[in-house]
Structure 1
Amino acid sequence: MAACHPFIATTEESWLNRPAHRRWLIDQGESLIAFGKASRRPEGGFATLDEWGHPIPAQRPQTLIAARMTHTFALAALQGIPGAGALVDHGISALTSLFHDDRHGGWFAEMPDDEDASGIDTTKQAYLHAFVALAAASATAAGRPGARVLLDRAVEVIERHFWSDEEGRMRESFSRDWQQGEAYRGANSNMHSVEAFLALADVLEAPVWRQRALSIAGYLIHEHAVQAGYLVVEHFDEQWQEWRDYNRDQPGDQFRPYGLTPGHALEWSRLLVNLEAGLLRHGEQAPDWLLHDAIGLFDAAVTTGWAADGAPGFVYTVDWQQQPVVRARMHWVIGEGVAAAAALLARTGQVRFEHCYRQWWDYIDLYLIDRERGSWHHELDEHNQPSASVWSGKPDIYHAYQATLFPRLPLAPTAATLLAERPELAG
């Protein structure tokens, strides 16, 4: 493994235990919330923001942005940040009405102009429904009005259409009327379903959701990723056969890029640690492979993705020979990296995860935090200069905010439930 640079005194106290570092994380999180407040649309939902934090008028409101911002503001509200609760309510209202398909059920990817949803893609996507469920779960934990109704509706749609007991995983997408399913299965939508399912298990006090998360992780990680050297196989056909050439002609796709995505290995690594902690907290069996595979994923991501082209930062994708394909650096990747490093440090006490944690926050501080315009640059090029080859503007604060919050929290329960039970832990 290409190790993170060690610091000199390996016996000194972790950054995570230092009051100054925790204050710095809190300050960064609060600045992100302040930036994100500008996304509120008076008409409903949240706007996509540009580099300066201004709403992009030409961008149709997105369900993904609405759900992520609602979830993020719910976490902020649970910490007592003024104004966040009202923004959660604003998001719940939009997800309940403006983005919802009242005719066939489920949620559109974009806000339609009329009941016929003319002019937009009307497919129903597992990826988006997972985020709606996550937003509703976090808002329910925060005690916001209407949140539980939205949560029950999201759970009903997931169980009726997306979750497959036969497959033990989530189906990918359907036509608007649910009559036609996509001949594709994706690891990305299933990964974020694991994230949502862990929150559902805690908020609903329903262990079945943790078991479903374990089923997904067992197949995608303990079977396929392990076989691929702990790199996450992203694409499958509807029979769950690996589809290694998928999107070869669109290597920089925002959600389904060709090849292997080191950032997803980091994200999965943290989720496996959280899943293990959740299972153990409730006296449920936690397989030994959860921790073993979490470490394997972390190490593979560092080996294949960090400085893969000679410059600092994680490349977005590599091919099956582990050579960089899209060399842009996405902010979400290193945000997930610091969260994974913190989780593995807390779980194992191994100082090498402290090394990565420190090095990656130094990188974020040097390259990603935009001190002139606010928030983080969402994408850098191979020279670590702001770019927009895959992502433009600063659409949301979800990944960055969680990077400032998760290292300050225990591994279980999930963040919203934990903050509802013990808000002092975020300080």
Structure 2
Amino acid sequence: MADTSVAADPQRIFWVDRSVHRNWLMTQGQHLLEHYRASKVAGGFGELDDDGQLVDNSAQTIVTARMVHCYSVASLLGVPGAAALADHGVEALLDGPLRDKEHDGWFEGEDPGRKQAYVHAFVALASASAVMALRPRAEELREAIGSVIDKRFWLADEEVMAPSFSANWHDCENYRGANANMHSTEAFLALADATGDNLWLERALAVAKRFCHVIARANNYMLPEHFDNNWQMLPDYNRDNPTDDLRPWGMTPGHFAEWSGLLLKIEAALAARGCDIPDWFFEDAVGLFDNALKCGWSVDGAPGMVYTIGWDKAVSVANRPWWVQAETANTAYMLLRRTKHADFDQTYRMVWDYIADILIDSNNGGWRPEVDCKGNRSREVYPLRNDLYHAFQATLIPLLPVGSSLADSVRRHSV
């Protein structure tokens, strides 16, 4: 951990315990919910431009699923109008063009294509949050996505998710990746909370163990993300496409932080159920988060966390995406609650200062999705404002105890 002299200061009052800060977070969250109402389209939810206007009327599955998740949580919070938006998304995922009526599963958008584990992870998260928010037809969606995961994506022998398939479920991709499995872990935790079935928690634990304890720990808490189906690392994967938004070349420090937070969520889930907690959890969580900051934050001399680094730890893509900063703030908060060490409060403050100064768009609403090292809007990785998922969660997680899923935390605790 960082500065022990800061951690030893008994007079420090954490931001997350100050009413002004908590009210500021809640206000920011409400602004995001209002901003993204404009993304509603007939088939679900679509993408916005920097002015907060729809790019076109086409729906995207990831965007729609994330909106269902967020507006389900918002309905639990008591936000008027949120339930109707969540219901619109659930119906779109069940009945609209995003779902494959012939072969089952979901496409990335309204045009048929490969079926991605990453996409299905967010459909699962949406279904679980909608179930916990008691939304109509949510259980129907949960049963449908659970069946697809069990039948198509979950690889029982490896205890991970298969990456992608052709539309008819042939041609499984010769690839194993961290990103889709990371978001599947989040979805599995939510499904465990929505159903009470510990099978989903066991799956979340198995995936996290492979990526955080086996792979990351063996690499000194640096996390390679790309492997073939024999788990041989692919160091050149997407070398010619370093700004890919889901599978960029090299390593992603923001994912180090996000995996760290997932370990803390799994720990909370195990503790709530009276289960044994592996003794490596906390050490691995801190190791990943420390490396996220060491390898990603201000490594080029400018504030903010970079998108990716290479195998020599040199910056690959220096632009700062919004989600990287949001997930870093989230995990700093969870480690603060877990340890009460003020160095995590210091990090939390540093990241939120950056978000407020550089990313929050006070003119057009929402957050700027990506900026360069000087804080200017850049569009190499994220040209559009896809959804409110990462940003909204970042405004809400610090208002709650550390829990296994956001929807469950909201339904159990007042904000």
TM-score normalized by the length of structure 1: 0.94
* Contact 1:5–1:355, Cα closer than 8 Å, also in 2: no
- Supply the AA of the counterpart residue of 1:97: D
Note the alpha carbon deviations across 1:112-155, whole angstroms, 9 max, x for none: 3xxxx4xxxx2111000000000010011001101110001000
Take 2:201 and 2:43, find their aligned partners in 1: how far apart are those partners? 33
| 1:420 CA displacement | 2.2
| 1:5 CA displacement | 12
1:358 lines up with 2:356 in the alignment: no
Task: Map 1:376-387 to 2 at 5 A.
Answer: 376-387=367-378
1:195 lines up with 2:186 in the alignment: yes
Take 1:176 and 1:395, find their aligned partners in 2: how far apart are those partners? 24
Take 2:8 and 2:63, find their aligned partners in 1: how far apart are those partners? 42
- Supply the AA of the counterpart residue of 2:72: A
Task: Map 1:265-344 to 2 at 5 A.
Answer: 265-344=256-335
Give the aligned length.
414
| 1:60 CA displacement | 3.5
Note the alpha carbon deviations across 1:283-341, whole angstroms, 9 max, x for none: 11110211111100000000000011110011100001100000000000010011000
Note the alpha carbon deviations across 1:366-418, whole angstroms, 9 max, x for none: 10110000011000012111111111121111000000001111112422122
Q: 1:62 to 1:5 in 2, by over 3 A?
A: farther
1:88 to 86, 89, 98: 86
Which residue of 2 is the match for residue 405 of structure 1? 396
1:46 lines up with 2:41 in the alignment: no
Take 2:352 and 2:13, find their aligned partners in 1: how far apart are those partners? 17
| 1:14 CA displacement | 0.9
Which residue of 1 is the match for residue 203 of structure 2? 212
| 1:7 CA displacement | 10
* Contact 1:7–1:355, Cα closer than 8 Å, also in 2: no
| 1:186 CA displacement | 0.6
SS in 1 for 2:45: coil
- Supply the AA of the counterpart residue of 2:12: E
In structure 1, the gaps of 5 or more residues are: none
* Contact 2:216–2:224, Cα closer than 8 Å, also in 1: yes
- Supply the AA of the counterpart residue of 2:339: T
* Contact 2:9–2:342, Cα closer than 8 Å, also in 1: no
SS in 2 for 1:325: strand
Note the alpha carbon deviations across 1:80-108, whole angstroms, 9 max, x for none: 00110000000001100111101001001
- Supply the AA of the counterpart residue of 1:37: R
In structure 2, the gaps of 5 or more residues are: none
* Contact 2:7–2:343, Cα closer than 8 Å, also in 1: no
SS in 2 for 1:280: helix
Take 1:10 and 1:297, find their aligned partners in 2: how far apart are those partners? 27
Q: 1:274 to 1:163 in 2, by over 3 A?
A: same
RMSD value over aligned CA atoms? 1.6
1:243 lines up with 2:234 in the alignment: yes
| 1:239 CA displacement | 1.1
Take 2:13 and 2:398, find their aligned partners in 1: how far apart are those partners? 15
Note the alpha carbon deviations across 1:211-263, whole angstroms, 9 max, x for none: 11111111111011112221221101011111111111111100000001000
Which residue of 1 is the match for residue 37 of structure 2? 37
- Supply the AA of the counterpart residue of 2:92: A
Take 2:201 and 2:409, find their aligned partners in 1: how far apart are those partners? 16
* Contact 2:116–2:163, Cα closer than 8 Å, also in 1: yes
Which residue of 2 is the match for residue 392 of structure 1? 383
Q: 1:371 to 1:267 in 2, by over 3 A?
A: same
- Supply the AA of the counterpart residue of 2:212: I
SS in 2 for 1:70: helix
| 1:11 CA displacement | 2.4
| 1:3 CA displacement | 6.3
| 1:280 CA displacement | 1.0
Take 1:262 and 1:214, find their aligned partners in 2: how far apart are those partners? 21
Take 1:151 and 1:345, find their aligned partners in 2: how far apart are those partners? 33
Instruction: Write out the 4+ residue segments of structure 1 that deviate beyond 4 Å after TM superposition.
Output: 1-10
Task: Map 1:167-206 to 2 at 5 A.
Answer: 167-206=158-197
- Supply the AA of the counterpart residue of 2:296: G
Take 1:176 and 1:183, find their aligned partners in 2: how far apart are those partners? 16
TM-score normalized by the length of structure 2: 0.97
Take 2:6 and 2:392, find their aligned partners in 1: how far apart are those partners? 26
1:68 to 59, 66, 69: 66
* Contact 1:4–1:359, Cα closer than 8 Å, also in 2: no
1:23 lines up with 2:23 in the alignment: yes
1:78 lines up with 2:69 in the alignment: no
Deviates more, 1:389-398 or 1:128-137: 389-398
- Supply the AA of the counterpart residue of 1:87: L
